[in-house]
Amino acid sequence: MSIYMKKPFIICNWKMNPATPREAKKITQEIARITEAKKGTVIIAPPTLFIERVRALYPWVAGQDISAHAAGAYTGQISARMLRKENVSYVIVGHSERRKYQCETDEQIAQKIKQAHGEKITPIICVGETKKATIPQAWNKIKKQLDILIPSLVRGGNYIFAYEPVWAIGGNKEVDPKYATDIIYRIKLYVRTQTQEVSPVIYGGSVNCENIDSLLYYKNTIDGFLVGSASVRPKEIKNIIKKIYGSY
Ligand code: PEP
- Report if residue 64 sits inside a domain: yes
The average confidence (pLDDT) of the chain is 96
| Number of domains composing the chain | 1
Query: How far does Cα 9 stand from its chain's mean position?
Result: 9
Identify the residue whose C-alpha is closest to ligand 1 atom 1: 228
Pocket perturbation via mutation, ligand 1, pick of 227, 232, 233, 237 by most ligand atoms within 8 A of CB:
227
φ, ψ of residue 188 to 5 degrees: the values are -60, -50
User: Does the CA dihedral 40-45-51-53 come out positive or negative?
Assistant: negative
- Report if residue 17 sits inside a domain: yes
Q: What is the Rg, in whole angstroms, of the alpha carbon atoms belonging to the chain? A: 17
Task: Point out the ligand 1 atom lying closest to the alpha carbon of residue 229.
Answer: 9
Task: Point out the ligand 1 atom lying closest to the alpha carbon of residue 168.
Answer: 10
- Report if residue 2 sits inside a domain: no
Q: Residue 159's domain is classified under what CATH number?
A: 3.20.20.70
Active site (annotated) includes residue 164:
yes
Asked whether the predicted pLDDT for residue 4 surpasses 80, the reply is no
Q: 78 lies in which domain range?
A: 9-247
pLDDT interval class at 97 (50, 70, 90): very high
Q: What is the signed CA dihedral for 61, 223, 165, 109, rounded to 10 degrees?
A: 50
Catalytic residue among 69, 164, 197, 210: 164
Asked whether the predicted pLDDT for residue 175 surpasses 90, the reply is no
Peptide bond into 18 cis (omega under 30): yes
- Report if residue 4 sits inside a domain: no
CA–centroid distance, residue 170 to ligand 1 (Å): 6
Active site (annotated) includes residue 210:
no
Evaluate whether 191 touches 166 at the Cβ level (below 8 Å): no
- Report if residue 3 sits inside a domain: no
55-88 pLDDT per residue, tens: 999 999 999 999 999 999 999 999 999 999 999 9
CA–CA distance, 194 with 191 (Å, rounded to integer): 5
pLDDT interval class at 1 (50, 70, 90): very low
- Report if residue 215 sits inside a domain: yes
- Report if residue 1 sits inside a domain: no
- Report if residue 240 sits inside a domain: yes
